[in-house]
Structure 1
Amino acid sequence: MEFKHVLMILGVIILTLAPLIMYSGLGEDEGYFGGADGAAGDLIMEISPNYEPWFQPFWEPPSGEIESLLFALQAAIGAIIIGYFFGYNKAKYDAKNQ
């Protein structure tokens, strides 16, 4: 393995771990990297304590892990669709230019 590859891998590791180490322990409930939904709800209640939501979710996942799984599944499906689109167009372009 070349030296530049080792440096790139170390750079990726450092860029991944640095924020997690720098901000570990901040925040009480959701940590520093909490979601925007909870922060928005807290801010709305702070601005207008009498606010009534228009509707409630018809289903809530039984745990945070299931919610994360569904979010990752949604992202994976989107990536597959986008990858298929780019691959299909690349193959069509290559076939046309042969």
Structure 2
Amino acid sequence: MKDRRLLRLSLVLVITLLLLLFLSFGLDLGFEGSDDRAVELILNTNPDYTPWLSNLWEPGSDFMEKLLFGLQVTLGLALGVYFYIKLKAVQDVSR
């Protein structure tokens, strides 16, 4: 019984992760990062501003940026689901 439940949960997780990864490539929702907005606001407020630091590495294309963002979302969701399952398992054992 528990194996079937774990299998179903794993299947839902994999489908969700694949869907999120697919949507991160296929849709351009027009979201703008907070860094871009902050730079825009700072330059509007003080055009002579020069940043103290610069990026170590910046993706070369929008595709790479979307890929990295999609992987970050997928990893975050996977970790959240993993720790939720672990928490539920600990609670089930303690009962």
What TM-score, normalized to structure 2?
0.61
2:60 to 35, 58, 62: 62
Displacement of 1:32 in angstroms is: 5.8
After TM superposition, what 4+ stretches of structure 1 lie above 4 angstroms from structure 2? none
1:73 to 57, 71, 74: 71
Q: Could you say what the CA RMSD is over the residues aligned between the two structures, in angstroms?
A: 1.8
Q: How does 1:38-57 map to 2 (within 5 A)?
A: 38-57=36-55
More helix by share: 2
Question: Which residue pairs with 1:83 in the alignment?
Answer: 81
Gaps of 5+ in 1: 1-30
Gaps of 5+ in 2: 1-28
Identity %: 39
Question: Which residue pairs with 2:93 in the alignment?
Answer: 95
Cα 1:58–1:47 shift into 2, 3 Å: same
Cα 1:92–1:67 shift into 2, 3 Å: same
